[in-house]
Amino acid sequence: MILVISCSHHPESRSRLLAKAAQQSLHNLHAPVDFLDLRTVDLPLCDGHASYDHPSSMKAKALVEKASGILIAMPIYNYGTNAITKNFIEHTGKAWQRKPVGMLCAAGGKGSYMALIPLAGSLMLDFHCHVLPRHVYATSDQFENDQITDSGVQERIDLMAGDILWLAEAVAARKHREIV
């Protein structure tokens, strides 16, 4: 099961369009997909303590645990991921252990191209995630209304869908070999 997470609360979010497109690409490849839109989840701010007992926190953790791979789509705010993405990872942290992860983001312009590096580093060093080296970075001029208009963005999403399935299979096979 691949989990696609949309991390924007904006009603006309462009990163949600990326997440939806990724879900469709995975469907086209006949992959089972869970879609989690954080706009619909009342996740409290993580306090590292009692917030973990919140039903939304436990539900989120279970979804991450169940996934064999994760695609996470987020907005770029202040040259980094938005706080909603960070809060979600703070809640679900250990459930990300050794998961394959692909990252997609919507940004206003090209200048924040390296903005996902700290997130990739933290997922790799903290939870030993296998982060796909090619991420999807889309700027506002690559969308019109509620559509992705740049075919290059769509191509990268399709590539990412294929890559996350390949990596999820490889990691699952590796874990299986460790058990038997």
Ligand X SMILES: Cc1cc2nc3c(=O)[nH]c(=O)nc-3n(C[C@H](O)[C@H](O)[C@H](O)COP(=O)(O)O)c2cc1C
Q: Which of 5, 95, 106, 167 binds ligand X (CB under 6 A)?
A: 106
Q: Which of 60, 71, 72, 76 binds ligand X (CB under 6 A)?
A: 76
For the chain, state the CA radius of gyration: 16
Q: Does 174 bind ligand X (CB under 6 A)?
A: no
Residue closest to 36 by CA, chosen among 55, 52, 20 = 20
Place of tokens 């990724």: 22
Distance CA 23, CA 129 (A): 21
State the nearest-atom distance from the C-beta of 74 to ligand X, in Å: 7
Q: Does 145 bind ligand X (CB under 6 A)?
A: no
State the nearest-atom distance from the C-beta of 57 to ligand X, in Å: 22
State the nearest-atom distance from the C-beta of 58 to ligand X, in Å: 26
Q: Does 161 bind ligand X (CB under 6 A)?
A: no
* Cβ-based neighbours of 137, under 8 Å, separated by 6 or more: 105, 107, 113, 116
Distance CA 68, CA 165 (A): 9
Q: Does 13 bind ligand X (CB under 6 A)?
A: yes
Site of interaction with ligand X (CB under 6 A): 8, 10, 13-16, 75-79, 106-109, 111-112, 140
